[in-house]
């Protein structure tokens, strides 16, 4: 199963272009293995860290996943690719400007019924779309 998960992650990285999730002034560095600023004191995580996290999560098709601190929407979009048509991903982000940024980026790849980013509230997660598998 580990090989299948690694193949799925590799495929997700090839289908979801990180450049679509970085600020224009950092586009030239989009493929470097380092975090990049996305504004408001936040960063888009470095690819190797995200790949390791996704591997540990063992995300497979059909799962419902919650992404806390969705930022630019890159990890949310990668997760949406991994869960496939039968799954669903919900991202939550506390910074309103990043909610909009993430939603715009996510919409380039997936419709809202498949993956969506919400403004985080004082409650954990997004109970309207719960329960979650990961």
- Show the beta-strand stretches assigned E in the chain: 36-39, 42-44, 64-68, 88-93, 115-119
Residue 45 annotated among the catalytic residues of the structure? yes
- For 110, half-sphere exposure in the C-beta direction (CA atoms, 13 angstrom radius) is 31
Distance CA 43, CA 39 (A): 7
From 8, 10, 14, 45, the catalytic residue: 45
Active site residues: 45
């Amino acid at each position: 199963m580990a090989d299948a998960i690694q193949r799925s992650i590799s495929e997700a990285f090839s289908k979801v272009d990180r450049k679509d999730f970085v600020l224009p002034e950092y586009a030239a560095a989009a493929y470097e293995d380092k975090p990049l600023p996305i504004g408001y004191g936040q960063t888009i995580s470095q690819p190797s860290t995200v790949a390791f996290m996704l591997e540990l999560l063992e995300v497979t098709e059909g799962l419902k996943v919650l992404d806390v601190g969705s930022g630019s929407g890159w990890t949310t979009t990668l997760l949406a690719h991994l869960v496939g048509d039968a799954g669903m991903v919900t991202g939550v982000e506390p910074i309103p400007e990043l909610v909009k940024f993430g939603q715009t980026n996510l919409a380039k790849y997936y419709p809202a019924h498949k993956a969506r980013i919400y403004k985080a509230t004082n409650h954990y997660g997004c109970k309207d779309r719960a329960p979650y598998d990961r």
